Amino acid sequence: MRKLNFVCILTDFFCLLKTFGISLKCLATVMSNWKIRDLLSLGLLGLRHSRGVLTKYSSAGQTVSAAASVSSPQLQPNDAAEKILNLPLEKPDFFRVAELFSLKDLFDARVHLGHKKGCRHRLMEPYLYGCRLDQDIFDLDQTVEHLQRALNFTAHIAYRGGIILFVSRRRQFGHLVESTAKDCGEYAHTRYWQGGLLTNANIQYGPGVRLPDLIIFLSTLNNVFQQHVGVRDAAKMNIPTVGVVDSNCNPCLVTYPVPGNDDTPVAMELYCRLFKMTINRAKDKRRQVELLYGLNAPSPSNS
Amino acid sequence: MQLYYHFGVISALLLTKTNNHIFLRLSTDNSALCRKNLAAAGPEKFTAEFIQKQIEEFNIGKRHLANIMGEDPENFSQEDIDRSIAYLFPSGLFEKKARPLMKHPDEIFPMQRAVQWGKDRRPFHFLFYTGKQSYYSLMHELYGKMLNIEKHQDRLRSKGLFSKDGHKISLGMSRWLTKEELEALLVENISTHDYNRFIQIMERLLSMPYCNIEEEFVLRFRHLLQTQSRHQMVSALQKDENGVAFSSAEGCRKTSHSTVVLRDCGSGRLSVNGQDSLLYFPVLQDREQLMFPMQFTGTLGRFDLECTVSGGGRSSQAGALRLAISRALLSFLSPSEREMMRQAGLLTPDPRVRERKKPGQEGARRKFTWKKR
């Protein structure tokens, strides 16, 4: 049955291509630049709910400005609340996260060091600069780009008052991660992950619980060198994830992967510091903007 | 019509032509399938407003009770409440918990977790999404304390003042909190594995040198053992008008109560309830019981005893008197002799009381005669 479905999907695929006059090569370039999720939402590929073919997200992401244009056009913002929410979307790097770190900082924190060649995951090969004496080295240019995107995304989520959950199963850094979360005013989970935490939330926590809006994985592997259950569960519950992926990790299901080292204490401290600074910055900005708009438009908004 | 009955009720209904509407009662109306599984719902949940209302009602009721008893409503303590309730609603029930009760709602309703998130539905605690927030926050704090101690050790090492046997915490007579007590402290269920891990890490903290900086934190989880302090209660040695030292003590056994006044005269007289001991206790065994504490300590002829005893039978009265005499003797003895008396069992009150008769049996243990047919 599975093979038949595959064949059906492929035939649909080719029919569509013919109707739109798009060649496969053209389509491949388009796919490499756009996220599959957004393509599906646009209805460009009107395929049936794909099962095996298109579940893997391509690793290249988008800039934030493109995301703003892809989402549905906003009405003329008369409401102060709408103005507050749309303010950060006017500029590409509204929170200036690029100023928080430089390539040299990443190099000094030994973020470019990966695991040995034998531990390498096939899907991490695009992010590697090379291999020296059997040890994989990350391409820090790509890392800088990915990290900027990830920090920008967390800043936007924090600005909108979203719940951010820090997850890491490394026992060395559990305390550090929990303290970081406490200092930001966000949440952490560095303990044993019970099966139904995200998928069975109403029964685990009580009815009406609010799930996290972003999950940040400071290490995507658990203590048995398997992918953390949270990555898969977040994908199931449509929760975006930011994850530090090492050379032995699978970057597929992570929305904003950050290829880099997750074993050295210096690197972990750097990541925690960066995330804490972005979240605090975003929250402070939100408070500033609310005060500003509160002073400008004191009249109550009519819904 | 009788012909139709054996087809069952439903067929009888169908066969009646006069009925235009045939109401078929659902055969599962009151069966097990429709009944609510009350046991599976868990313990009853009380809302915060409900508890608040109960507290207000309790306070108003307390004032009314004070007015009824003619006492001051402002200074009406819990003991006064208990006394008043026992007076107004006398109950002969054996089980103390079944008697009428008026206590503060916090003691009656078990502590429950309030809703964990605010108006914007953001949870209050930063470890909410782990599931066991209190336990894990405790572990987080514990780890923080260990890091603190290590930092302190490093500071001392840099000054050159570090020594391996530095300042440990003196535990004294205390034990770790049990799993139930810890659960009550954290208001959360803990598994045995979690509890053992917690104790293991606390022991590790205690083994580190210079852990006395976190003494207060550790002592929060230790429970003082109170068994040693009881036998230290020695009745005071008082002086008579004539300068004769005397002490008094009480003793009970089964349903007898006795009081004894021990005078250091040097006569060795024994009077029980105004009578001589020979008259009151004709049996030798009872008189031996009275004499035993003094014979054990070798003070047979030294003291003068004035005893009063009531309740029970002859043997239990003798036992009560013996306990009272031993307690009164404590104030005249040295600590080593006191320890000898305690080890001899003279200071232990006998806990045996009459066992109640149970229904379906002839006595406390004796069953009715079993007849095969």
Query: Which residue in B has a C-alpha nearest to residue A187's C-alpha?
Result: B126
Contact B201/A at CB under 8 A: no
- The residue length of chain A stands at 303
Cβ contacts (< 8 Å) between A290 and chain B: which residues? none
Q: Collapsing DSSP states into helix, strand and coil, what is residue B292?
A: helix
Closest C-alpha to B99, from B107, B88, B113, B114: B88
The contacts of residue B151 (CB under 8 Å, 6+ apart) are: none
pLDDT by residue, tens only, chain B of 373 residues: 444 444 444 444 444 444 455 555 656 666 766 677 666 666 677 778 889 999 999 999 999 999 999 999 998 999 999 999 999 999 999 998 899 999 999 888 877 777 788 888 899 999 999 989 999 999 999 999 999 999 999 999 999 888 887 778 777 778 899 999 999 888 889 999 999 999 999 999 998 888 888 888 998 898 887 665 555 677 788 888 888 888 999 999 999 999 999 888 878 889 999 999 999 999 999 999 999 999 999 888 888 999 999 999 999 999 999 999 999 998 888 888 888 898 899 999 999 999 999 999 999 999 999 999 8
**What are the DSSP calls for B77-135, one per residue?**
-HHHHHHHHHHHS----S-GGGS-----HHHHSPP-PPPSB-TT--BSSTTGGGS-HHH
Contact B126/A at CB under 8 A: yes
* ipTM computed for the complex: 0.71
Cβ of A178 within 8 Å of Cβ of B126? The answer is yes
pLDDT, one tens digit per residue, over A221-272 is 999 999 999 999 999 999 999 999 999 999 999 999 999 999 999 999 999 9
Contact B124/A at CB under 8 A: no
Q: In what order do the strands lie in the sheet with A113-116?
A: A113-116, A135-138, A128-132
Q: How far apart are the first and last CA of chain B?
A: 47
What is the separation of C-alpha B56 from the centre of its chain, rounded to a whole number of angstroms? Answer: 28
Separation CA B75–CA B163 (nearest Å): 56
Separation CA B357–CA B366 (nearest Å): 9
Cβ of B116 within 8 Å of Cβ of A205? The answer is yes
Cβ contacts (< 8 Å) between B151 and chain A: which residues? none
List A241's β-bridge partners, or say none.
A215
Under 8 Å CB pairs connecting chains A and B tally to 49
Query: Which residue in B has a C-alpha nearest to residue A205's C-alpha?
Result: B131
Q: Name the residue among B129, B136, B144 with its Cβ closest to that of A212.
A: B129
- The residue length of chain B stands at 373
Beta carbons of A93 and A152 less than 8 angstroms apart: yes
Separation CA A185–CA B370 (nearest Å): 73
Q: Which residues of A touch B (CB under 8 A)?
A: 161, 163, 165, 174-175, 178, 181-182, 185-189, 191, 194, 197, 204-206, 208-210, 212
Q: Name the residue among A178, A187, A194 with its Cβ closest to that of B128.
A: A187
Question: Best mutation site among A157, A160, A163, A172 for testing chain B: the one with the most B CBs within 10 Å?
Answer: A163
Between the CA of residue B172 and those of A195, B221, B228, B232, what are the distances in Å?
Answer: 43, 14, 12, 17
Query: Which residue in A has a C-alpha nearest to residue B146's C-alpha?
Result: A175
CA distance A200 to chain B (A): 12
Q: Name the residue among B117, B120, B129 with its Cβ closest to that of A189.
A: B129
Closest C-alpha to B346, from B316, B371, B315, B323: B323
DSSP 8-state symbol, B5? H
The answer to whether the predicted template modeling score (pTM) of the entire model surpasses 0.80 is no
Closest C-alpha to B297, from B247, B320, B331: B331
Query: Which residue in A has a C-alpha nearest to residue B129's C-alpha?
Result: A189
Cβ contacts (< 8 Å) between A194 and chain B: which residues? 131
The contacts of residue B336 (CB under 8 Å, 6+ apart) are: none
Which residues of B, range 133-162, sit inside 8 Å of A by Cβ?
Answer: 136, 140, 143-144, 147
Beta carbons of A278 and A97 less than 8 angstroms apart: yes
What is the separation of C-alpha B204 from the centre of its chain, rounded to a whole number of angstroms? Answer: 31
Contact B128/A at CB under 8 A: yes
